Amino acid sequence: MNKISLPINSKMLKKEFIYGVATASFQIEGASDKRLPCIWDTFCAKENTVADGSNGDIACDHYNRWNEDIELIDSLGVDAYRLSISWPRVITESGELNPTGVDFYLNILKELKKRNIKAFVTLYHWDLPQHLEDNGGWLNRETSYKFAQYVDLITVAFGDLVHSYATLNEPFCSAFLGYEIGVHAPGKVGREFGKKAAHHLLLAHGLAMSVLAKNSPNTLNGIVLNFTPAYAVDDKSENILAASFADDYYNQWYIKPIFDGKYPEILQELPDNCHPEIHPGDMEVISHSVDFLGINFYTRSVYKASDDDYFEELPATGKLTDIGWEVYPQAFTELLQSLNERYDLPPIYITENGAAINDKIVDNDVVDQDRIDYYQEHLLAVNVAIESGVDIQGYFAWSLMDNFEWAEGYLKRFGIVYVDYESQIRTIKNSGHAYKTLISNR
Ligand code: IFM
């Protein structure tokens, strides 16, 4: 079956349900000489940080090929395109707009508008300007205010070309992967850093929400969070407790401050030096109302109790994608239902979902049946959540095309379009055709 189908009466087959594809600036644009350096340029230049030793200098060369890429997006028949803005491309070191960078995005946004494709703009997808990292990066509270200033300038420049703004993409990844275990830029390691960075990221989000409310009250403004639901290996109470701690540490840490105005209670159990520096009023800023919540989902994790830590994560088992993540769509439904029960949520958009597959291109075809199956199962999982009463209004495939997969370099392919990095030729994979058919059959 190289089709993706949904039950005939599914809300996801109504025209109002938005289908899109997603990308991020550093992963596709290239042309690093046309912008300020960012933390990922520096990280890639260090040894043993990226699996294939690559970097984002060329990536998908989208900086020069954006026009044909938008034509490609349009050819898929999607309603929306989720892209991110490279902060170091649009803001100079002295904090002013860089007209060359702004024009690059203005041209894209105008072309999307012309084609009636809604622009879902993410303002931060991990490419922090290096000069800000040199000043402490997300460990420095000042970075949150710099972010709000950038958001202020760029949203005025974009005028009414945008449909939706997300402040941050996956602050968990920026904070934990970047500042706690160091597998992402800027590569800092230390348990004492993660929650401090997370707090400044969330503060940046809250400050930016006020700016958006002032400059762009007619767009859908919110944040994109990733969730890897935590399951206990069995029913033993110590393992259930371990999984619940992991869930608070990795998942709830980023959503609870936004909707409940506080961090999970495990905060009290963390050593003092790991506590974020919370100033009076911060939690009110962070819990500014949002118009939507973006949810990124790929997989789940399984935990058991540990003798010398709060929890132990077990290796993934079962069916795995090429990046080693378990295929477990049931966790997607359960996640959406549990978030809906726990929090008073605005409408949800699935802002990322997809699979890394070891694709091969043969005679101009990419037969990526495993990816089609992944989309099929996960779209059905979303449908079940909707049927049980969760308000989900859109779905974005990650990703439009193969791109720079962070610490994995170009070795892992997530696209529904294949990219030959030598020739930069794009070829729609079978999953891309299936996605297009699903959308056009509505
Ligand atoms: O490629 C990333 C994306 O940048 C953020 N969410 C997860 C994707 C797959 O790892």
pLDDT in tens, 373-393: 999 999 999 999 999 999 999
Q: Does the annotation count 352 as an active-site position?
A: yes
Which listed residue (111, 133, 170, 180) is catalytic?
Answer: 170
Q: What pLDDT band is residue 287 in, cutting at 50, 70 and 90?
A: very high
**How far, in Å, CA of 441 to CA of 336, rounded?**
26
Q: Ligand 1 centroid to 405 CA: how many Å?
A: 7
pTM, full prediction: 0.99
Domain limits of the chain? Answer: 11-440
pLDDT in tens, 135-150: 999 999 999 999 999 9
> What mean pLDDT is predicted for residues 389-413?
99
Residue ID of nearest Cα to ligand 1 atom 10 = 405
pLDDT in tens, 216-268: 999 999 999 999 999 999 999 999 999 999 999 999 999 999 999 999 999 99
Question: Looking at residue 92, what is its pLDDT?
Answer: 98
Q: Which atom of ligand 1 is nearest to the CA of 403?
A: 1
Please tell me the CATH code under which domain 11-440 is placed: 3.20.20.80
Tell me the HSE value of 115 on the side-chain side, using a 13 A CA sphere.
Answer: 23
> What mean pLDDT is predicted for residues 67-88?
98
User: Is the minimum distance from the CB of 296 to ligand 1 under 6 angstroms?
Assistant: yes
Which listed residue (326, 352, 408, 422) is catalytic?
Answer: 352
Q: Ligand 1 centroid to 183 CA: how many Å?
A: 14
Q: Does the annotation count 377 as an active-site position?
A: no
* pLDDT at residue 313 tops 90: yes
